[in-house]
Structure 1
Amino acid sequence: MNKERLVTREEILDKARELADLISRSDEVDFFKKAEQKIKKNMKVQLLIGQIKGKQKEAVHAEHYGTPQHLAEVEKEIERLNQELDEIPVVQEFKQSQVEVNDLLQLITNIISNTVTEKIILSTGGDPLTGKTGILPDEE
């Protein structure tokens, strides 16, 4: 059996921090940061966000005070404002950048999970095609 040196939890966490640093310097994260800055500088976007937040507070009050008709009207207005916001190109760009960063993180998570699983199966003499581990010989 292959006797590789065991690593510590701290070594793993150090590598995770290194990976996080790499990710933070990726094209996807750079695109996200630029899109976020465009959102912050766009007055129309900021105005709509402010209106949505105001309507959300109004909806909470309407729900709390039991006025369902007013709540329905406010929720409809929130939906309209959200649709208007979503039609703005910088918002679409920002949302796309969020998807790309999330996709990258999901891909990394899947690679780590699949690789660890495969290494466990192989190190126990198991079958990667069936996903079943083998039996480790007793160590003395």
Structure 2
Amino acid sequence: MPLSEHEQRMLEQMERALYAEDPKFATALEGSGLRTYTRRRVYQAVAGFLVGIALLMTGMVLTQIWISVVGFLVMLGCAVLAVTGWRKAPKPGEQPAGAVPGAPGAPAARRQARQKRSMMDRIEQRWQKRRDEQGGH
């Protein structure tokens, strides 16, 4: 279900506030490093798929069945890698699965986690206040 214009504006405001308050955290939430790695893996799988097609066609032209079978298997394996890699890619704004905010041991990380929590609390309070105001109309 798409967001209404009002909800989109509110989301944009929250994103701007997040970037203004803690740009490092906001950038970390984008997960660009993992997305780049996954995207590269998908591109490699597509290139491998094209090599598989070339092997398949070469085997057919040379009437060597085993080359065609190898080409088909390469195509199949690369297609599976591309599809699984695409599904595992984090969406923009989503935190990577391996990232743990405020990892133990680092006082700065704990302090940053507290700041994140307080910022999220404020955002949730504002959201609730706006919902309550809208519900009264």
TM-score by length of 2: 0.34
Larger of the two Rg values belongs to structure: 1
TM-score by length of 1: 0.33
